[in-house]
Homo-oligomer: A and B are copies of this chain.
Amino acid sequence: MALRMNINADMGEGYGKYDIGDDDAILKIVKSVNVACGLHAGDATVMRDVCIKAKENGVSVGAHPGFNDIWGFGRRQIRMNANDLEYLIAYQLGALAGMAAYAGVKVTHVKPHGALNNMAAVDADYAMAIGRAMKTVDPSLYYLALSNTEMEKAALALDLPLAREAFIDRLYDDNGNLATRTNPATVIKDPKVAAERTVRMVLDGEIISINGKKMPTKFDSLCVHGDEPTAIAVAQAARKALEDAGVEIVTLPEMMAG
């Protein structure tokens, strides 16, 4: 039986006249995109454009909600009331559904962005707030969550479809959490290193910490990034290595359908 894996990436992070990342290149590598929803990055024009391009490339669309913080690009940790956060997420899910109508596609997953993702990994209130927003707006959405986190627990507690992800280009600490991005050393920039590491992760079902600790981990999707100068090469190398190892790259709904 053939191995399959989803690859996802954040996209649509431009804002007005500002552009960031190489969306066209990324769309050739991944099979699912996490679309910024206008509050930390992205805008209506960009969101529509990404949805249309995703459809053209046979790529599934997910929401990538973040804090309402354009200046900080959603990378600043913000402490706020969990109910307000929940509604902020629901707002973004609704907005993306509106823009996806231009492409005639359905949004199929949710993955929190940046600091929100980092906080929700360890903060049950935040993780549950995201889950409740999904449950209200569209309970069929996959909660794309880091394995071994409060997000995973929230999806299970709320009986939401759960898809687990692991990272191709980021290092983990010994607890299986992502090491903070403010430390540049935690971002893998060498395509060869990333490719070898990725194949081992998929074939062995393990992630490896910054200290070499191996942690058996279930995951359905591999995350790559597009906003580092080296990111495209890293992602391309990882995808090619997976395919060479006999792994078929599929959309997230295809992956979850088994």
The answer to whether A172 has its CB under 8 Å from any CB of chain B is no
Chain B residue nearest in CB terms to A17: B73
> Are A78 and B87 within 8 A (Cβ)?
no
Give the chain B neighbours of A75 by CB distance below 8 A: 17
Interface residues of A in 23-65 (CB under 8 A from B): 38, 43-45, 47-48
Question: Known contacts being A69-B69, A78-B72, is A90 close to B84, with CB within 8 Å?
Answer: no
Total residues of chain A contacting the partner, CB 8 A: 44
Which of A92-100, A156-164, A234-242 binds B? A92-100
> Given A18-B20, A95-B95, A137-B98, A80 and B72 touching (CB < 8 A)?
yes
> Which residues from chain B contact A99 at a C-beta distance below 8 Å?
87, 90-91, 94
Work out how many copies of this chain go into the complex.
Answer: 4
Question: How distant is A42 from chain B, measured CB to nearest CB, in Å?
Answer: 10
Q: A44 and B98 in contact (CB under 8 A), knowing A15-B18, A16-B72, A79-B77? A: no
**Does A193 lie at the interface of the complex (its beta carbon under 8 Å from any beta carbon of B)?**
no
Q: Are B93 and A98 in contact (CB under 8 A)?
A: yes
- B68 engages A68 (CB within 8 Å): no
Q: In the complex, what residues of B have CB within 8 A of residue A73's CB?
A: 16-18
Measured between beta carbons, the chain B residues less than 8 angstroms from A91 are 38, 43-44, 47, 95, 98-99
CA distance A99 to B158 in the complex (A): 19
Chain B residues positioned under 8 Å from A136 (CB to CB): 101-102
**How many Å from the CB of A82 to the closest CB on chain B?**
12
By Cβ-Cβ distance, the 3 closest A-B pairs, closest first, are A94-B98, A44-B87, A44-B91
Please give the residue numbers on chain A whose beta carbons come within 8 Å of chain B beta carbons, in ascending order. 15-18, 20, 38, 43-45, 47-48, 68-73, 75-81, 83-84, 87-88, 90-99, 101-102, 115, 136-137, 182
* Additional A-B contacts beyond A17-B75, A43-B88, A87-B102 (19; CB < 8 A): A16-B71, A16-B73, A17-B72, A17-B73, A43-B71, A45-B83, A45-B84, A45-B87, A45-B88, A69-B78, A72-B78, A79-B115, A90-B101, A91-B95, A94-B97, A94-B101, A95-B98, A97-B97, A98-B137
Between A and B, 23 residue pairs with Cβ closer than 8 Å are A15-B71, A43-B71, A43-B88, A43-B91, A44-B84, A44-B87, A44-B88, A47-B87, A47-B91, A48-B87, A69-B69, A69-B78, A72-B78, A76-B79, A76-B80, A77-B79, A78-B79, A90-B102, A91-B98, A92-B98, A97-B97, A101-B137, A102-B136
